[in-house]
Structure 1
Amino acid sequence: MVNEVFILRHGIRLDIDDKAYFRHYLKRKDDVPLSSRGIIQAEETGEFLKDQHVTHIFSSPFFRTLQTAQAVASKLNLPINVEYGFMEMLNPNWFPADPELLTKKEALSVFPNINPDYESFVQPEYPETDYEGVVLHRVKKALDEIILRYDGTILIVGHGASTESAAKALMLPGSLEGFDGKMCALNKYVRENGKWTFAYCTTDHLSAESILN
């Protein structure tokens, strides 16, 4: 059974650093990748986690989360389990339609550490308009299954809504005390005597101050 959880939001997005032209580069307009700053953040996070005994990595299927997870996985020599339960909130104000993401075959060609045999515990349905009732529920469902079925220390790579939901799911009735939602901030939780406690949050592994956007 899992006894330690790291919760990590992806690195800085391209649309934050390149507001004028980022859509020109995109094959899928709703699947924004990391900026160069975000890539550096992901690499630095991987370096920090080399000594943290992570045993399993779970990532949202969006490109930016897979980029972040791949940077970590390559340094830890671990597979990436693509879990749709940790994907971005499918808010119709953000996505006018169900966002088009990489297929499994496409993802494997770009991110070599993806585990092709992993089957997601959750498949969200578009649209999602209720954060507490829908997003928190599906994140908790995925997290509960993973904690039960896996061992050791896991890393979850998600988004603003899904990382916050993961923290709330662990700390029911939903405390976010100490949690940092900045991009590539690492939040660690530890199970002691059957109860999850917040251990720490750090951005000290990052060479530049991160952002909350």
Structure 2
Amino acid sequence: MDRGRQVFLVRHGEADYERLSSYAPVYHGGRRDFAPLTDLGIRQAEAAAEQLRGSRPAVVVASPYARTLQTGALIAARLGCELRVEPALHDWLPVRDGAAPITGEIVRRKIEEYESWRRSGVLPSDRTWETDEEMADRVRDAMARHVASGPLVAVTHEAVIKSATNADVVGLASVHRLTR
């Protein structure tokens, strides 16, 4: 990534997971990622666009999840710039092998492993998830693939933004500058 280029990371707006419940069991588990934004989430995305307006971004790049794509589309439309989909901006995954079924119990255990690693610094030898450094590298590599004539906006997820910026708090539709 060009160190002189400005990159802003935006967390998606509030997702409407409840809206999917009437389609049960189709949208349970990992398919929750199809949830659109709530009305509040739409207003949050529009507010993020206003916050970014003065930066004059050339391109908005979004994770492929519905909540990030919708947030990115609202921002791009408000700012009159191109929207691109970037699969590498996906959320932190408890198990990176998408072929294996993931249960709630597996997710709970993997989150416990991750949090234990964050406290102790000791990586489990059989880990299936990314470290913060690996997520941050993934974001930088993804941004390097997107050439633009001005600043970039990347719409992604809380864990990804925390890893790339060292932010302690990443609120819904909050805007952060990628500095490392």
TM class by smaller structure: 0.5 to 0.7
CA deviation profile, 1:160-197 (whole Å, cap 9, x unmatched): 12222332xxxxxxxx25x64111111135xxxxxx47
Alignment partners' CA distance in 1, 2:32 and 2:131: 19
Q: Which has the higher strand share?
A: 1
Q: Quote the Cα distance in structure 1 between the aligned partners of 2:91 and 2:8.
A: 18
Alpha-carbon shift at residue 128 of structure 1 (Å): 4.9
Aligned to 2:131: 131
Contact 1:6 1:186 in 2 (8 A): yes
Q: Give the count of matched residue pairs.
A: 147
Separation in 1, partners of 2:101, 2:135: 17
Q: Are 1:56 and 2:68 matched, yes or no?
A: no
Q: How does 1:175-186 map to 2 (within 5 A)?
A: 176=166, 180-186=169-175
2: CA distance, partners of 1:9 / 1:150: 21
Percentage identity across aligned positions? 25
| Structure 1 position 51, deviation (Å) | 2.6
How far is the alpha carbon of 1:152 from its aligned partner?
2.1
Determine the C-alpha separation between the residues in 1 that align with 2:176 and 2:133: 23
Contact 2:95 2:129 (C-alpha < 8 Å) held by counterparts: yes
What CA distance in whole angstroms lies between the structure 1 residues aligned with 2:101 and 2:80?
Answer: 36
Name structure 2 gaps, 5 residues minimum.
103-126
Higher relative contact order (CA 8 A, sep 6+): 2
Q: Give the 3 Å change call, closer, same or farther, for CA 55–132 of structure 1 in structure 2.
A: same
Aligned pairs (5 A) from 1:43-192: 43-92=46-95, 97=101, 128-132=128-132, 134-146=134-146, 149-167=147-165, 176=166, 180-189=169-178
SS of the residue 2:49 aligns to: helix
Residue correspondence of structure 1 range 22-37 to structure 2 within 5 A: 22-25=20-23, 28=27, 29-31=31-33, 32-37=35-40
How many angstroms does 1:133 deviate by? 5.9
Aligned amino acid, residue 74 of structure 2: A
**Helix, strand or coil: the match of 1:12?**
coil
* 2:45 alignment counterpart: 42
**Equivalent residue number for residue 5 of structure 1:** 7
Q: Is the 8 A contact 2:135 2:164 kept in 1?
A: no
Q: Contact between 2:89 and 2:139, CA under 8 Å: does it hold in 1?
A: yes
* C-alpha RMSD over aligned residues: 3.0
Contact 2:58 2:82 in 1 (8 A): no
- Give the structure 1 partner of residue 109 of structure 2: none
1:11, 1:184 within 8 Å by CA — same for their partners in 2? yes
CA–CA separation in structure 1 for the residues paired with 2:74 and 2:66: 12
Deviation of 1:33 (Å): 2.1
The alignment's TM-score, normalised by the length of structure 2, stands at 0.67
Instruction: State the secondary structure of the residue aligned to 1:8.
Output: strand
